[in-house]
Every structure is written in structure tokens, then in C-alpha cells.
Amino acid sequence: MIYSIKKKSIIGTVVIVLLIAICATCMANRDVTAVFNNQSLRKVPVYGVDTQEKVVALTFDAAWGADKTQGILDTLEKHGVGGTFFLVGFWIDKYPDMVKKIAESGCDIGNHSKEHLNMSTLSKEKVESELDYVSEKVNELTGIQPKFFRPPFGDYNNTLLEVVEEKNMIGVQWTVDSLDWKGLSAAEILSRVNSGVKNGSIILFHNNSDNILEALPLVIANLKNQGYKMVTLSNLIYQDDFTIDGNGIQHKK
């Protein structure tokens, strides 16, 4: 009799433990699903492209100063490589002739916002006005409608990327940050690019950084020696029939 009671007690305890374990597993699975779903809803811009080709894009953000921009254009032309310039609105207003020269060179022109603000802090209406200002100015000066948008400071959220999509543009970040804006030497810039570059990379420079004119020829020569072709974003990024994974890598469907 005593044995029977103990046996029932043990069985009851085991059942309770199993139920607790099952419930804990269900809760854990529910949390994981919730996190996964939230992640799947988070939009991301393009950081790079999945490709078997040895092709990369050189990009230049233009917000302050323009005295080195012609030198960059001359270097790109001399070496027969493409480039993409992301322009800020107040830069366009100050250097309209340079905007025209960038367009005439065959380089892509991208939208970099009107005032170079932290876009994730802005209302949708303000984001729209920031993007519209630049696109309209570029179109007015060059007849070009920007296809790509790069958020200042790399700062973005879903609201921004939704507006970018509504404006028929693609949000773009970078794979390799040269950190040229920090005053790095030409050799240091070259080292950073060389250590991070791979097929489909988008490389970030700034049009008026201290040593860009010394670094750019070294970067181009090094990439060519590795067999890379340097093209505009229009010739690197998929503009339709693509997906973007959680790391911002674009894949052709």
C-alpha cells in the first residue's frame, strides 16, 4: 500500500516536471518566433551584392568642400573606371557646376539628403522633403533622376527605407569604409580597402577627404592587379528581381 502511494507520487511528480518542461519549450519557441518575425520585418539597405564576378563600386559622399572633386573625376577617367557620387542638397546648391561635371563624366549621382541629418529621427513628411529636394535639384541641373539613396551617417529605419522605395530609389550603404574622413594616410586607406574588398563590394570614400587624391590611384591600381573591375552602382546593384538578406547582401532571384 505504501509502495503504491509512493509510486503514484513519483509518477505525479514526473508528469508535473514534464508539463513544466513542455510549457517552457513552448514559451521559448514563441519568443524565438517573435524575434524572428521582428527581424524579418526590419528593412535593410544594400550593403553589397552577391556575385561571382570580380566587380566592385567606388562611391564618394559629397557634403563639404569640392576642391578635390575634379581631381577624382580626372583619376577615374584616366584609369577607365566608374564611380558614384552621393550628393547633399546644400552641396548641390553651393557647387551646381560641379554637379553638372559629375553627370557629364558618366558617373552615377545618388541622393544623400538635403541637410545631412540623422534620418531615423525625422517624420515621414520631413524624410520625403529631404529626398525630394535633392532629386529635384539633380534632375533640374542634369536631367538625371537619382536611383540610389545613402543615409547620412548610415542612419536608417523602416520609415526612411519605405520612403526611399516609394520614391523608386534603392537604399545603399557600403561594404568597406575607407575611413578617409578621419585623415588616414593614402597607405592606410589602401590597407583598409584591400583588407575588406570582395566580389560585389561597395567602397565608401568622401570627395574632399585629406588624402583622397593620393589614395585613389593606389586603390585603383591594387584592385586592378587583383582582377577587379570598378563600375558605377547602376552596373553593380540589381534594380529588379532581387532579394536582400539580413546582412544587406543583394541576391538575384
Catalytically annotated residue among 97, 206, 245, 251: 206
For the question of residue 240 being annotated catalytic, the response is: no
Q: Which cell numbers hold the place of 7? A: 509510486
Q: What is the SS3 assignment for 167? A: coil
Region for residue 146 given its phi and psi (left: phi exceeds 0; alpha: psi -120 to 50; beta: otherwise): beta
Catalytically annotated residue among 61, 108, 112, 116: 61
For the question of residue 97 being annotated catalytic, the response is: no
- Catalytic residue ranges: 61, 206
